[in-house]
Amino acid sequence: MKELHVISTGQQTSETLVSIVTKIHRYIDYLHLRESEWSDQDLVQTIENLSASGVPMEKLIVNHRVDVANQTGVHGVQLTYRSMEVAKVKSAFPELKVGCSVHTVSEATHLARHGADFIVYGHIFETASKIVLEPKGVGSLQHVARQVSIPVIAIGGITPRNVQEVMAHGASGVAILSGILLAKDPLKAAQEYRYALTKSEVVM
């Protein structure tokens, strides 16, 4: 099944995020908690609140903070250029699934060789958060997907309308931020992305 990853925006309170995710978690595969301004305590409390609200721990991924991911028993950790090396994380915490954010083919192949379980690649299309950077495009996505044997999750400017195109170019899933969490109706948005992913599987 193609994966729907939702990444927190850094623009919402913990309470708002928990409220939204409680409603949408049945339609998504993973929630990435990417909140650089939160303390470890804030992050742990949010994870506990999500769990208490019925969100499965196996759907939660913590960005960067390996220690928090390990201590809370979530599904995995998403590493950035600031994080511990992927090989060291896999060695120290073999039970954690480890994803890595990448922007080039060389980064993708290097991290795949050193134990990454999946990579998040982009940005694929134009997006308001990356207006000064040229989008990678689906051709670049396809090249990356062909160079690695692990899942490639596409990010950046992805809408329900272009999901099928992204999937046709080798992505194993998509990662969405504002398109779901900042939508007028997050539940409807999550359902639309899930439908688009399911439709892409039928077409393929």
> Which residues are designated catalytic?
123
Cα(12)–Cα(151) distance, rounded to whole angstroms? 29
Cβ-contact 60, 50 below 8 angstroms: yes
- Asked whether 12 and 181 are in contact (CB, 8 A), the reply is yes
DSSP letter string, 35-102: -TTS-HHHHHHHHHHHHHTT--GGGEEEES-HHHHHHHT-SEEEE-TTSPPHHHHHHH-TTSEEEEEE
Q: How far is Cα 63 from Cα 61, in angstroms, rounded to an integer?
A: 7
Under 8 Å between Cβ of 46 and 18: yes
Under 8 Å between Cβ of 20 and 181: yes
